């Protein structure tokens, strides 16, 4: 093999190697971003919560530790590590904008390259359940998603900083 064909082969091997080394959580985060194009961090966190809730009903989970209820609802610190990992691997871009009047920061997260969902094994295996959440809520506003999440019995009935136990 020579020339351009050789370079394409090496590039494809790197892409496939990268996807084979992605954890289920990394795959799901990347897939959500592929589907939505870009999203904010809060919306991503809530979609991940709902996807994990759905997958947990079938004995799957994309997190090692459960979500806990914090000031802004369900949160899992594993998400920060995954976002850092995906950004380091060059698969996503994260931009941060400071909001006016010291109201904090706004995160915008987007994929920085395309990888076929067919190469994301965990996503491929659970695509129906993942797509069900994304199709139902992915294009809704953050307020609509927050309303959906905060109305769930398991979220309402969980104390601050306590693990959220999914209902069957």
Over the chain (168 residues), what is each successive 10-residue block's mean pLDDT? 43 49 95 94 96 94 95 94 94 80 73 90 95 95 94 95 91
From CA 112, how far away is CA 130, in angstroms rounded? Answer: 21
pLDDT value of residue 4: 45
Give the position of tokens 């307020």: 143
pLDDT value of residue 100: 58
From CA 148, how far away is CA 72, in angstroms rounded? Answer: 13
pLDDT value of residue 102: 57
pLDDT value of residue 101: 59
Task: At 3, list the tokens.
Answer: 């020339």
pLDDT value of residue 105: 64
CATH topology for 24-156 is: Arc Repressor Mutant, subunit A (1.10.10)
The pTM of the full predicted model, rounded to 2 decimals, is: 0.84
CB 61 within 8 A of CB 55: yes
């Amino acid at each position: 093999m020579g020339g351009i064909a050789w370079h394409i082969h090496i590039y494809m091997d790197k892409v496939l190697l990268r996807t084979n080394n992605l954890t289920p959580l990394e795959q799901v985060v990347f897939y959500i971003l592929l589907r939505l194009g870009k999203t904010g961090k809060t919306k991503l966190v809530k979609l991940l919560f709902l996807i994990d809730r759905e997958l947990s009903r079938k004995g799957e989970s994309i997190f090692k530790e459960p979500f806990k209820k914090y000031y802004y609802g369900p949160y899992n610190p594993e998400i920060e590590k995954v976002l850092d990992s995906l950004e380091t691997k060059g698969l996503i871009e994260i931009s941060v904008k400071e909001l006016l009047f010291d109201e904090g920061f706004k995160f915008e997260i987007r994929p920085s390259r395309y990888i076929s969902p067919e190469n994301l094994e965990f996503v491929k295996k659970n695509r129906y359940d993942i797509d069900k959440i994304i199709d139902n809520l992915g294009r809704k506003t953050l307020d609509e998603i927050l309303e959906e999440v905060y109305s769930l019995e398991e979220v309402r009935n969980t104390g601050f900083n306590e693990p959220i136990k999914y209902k069957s």
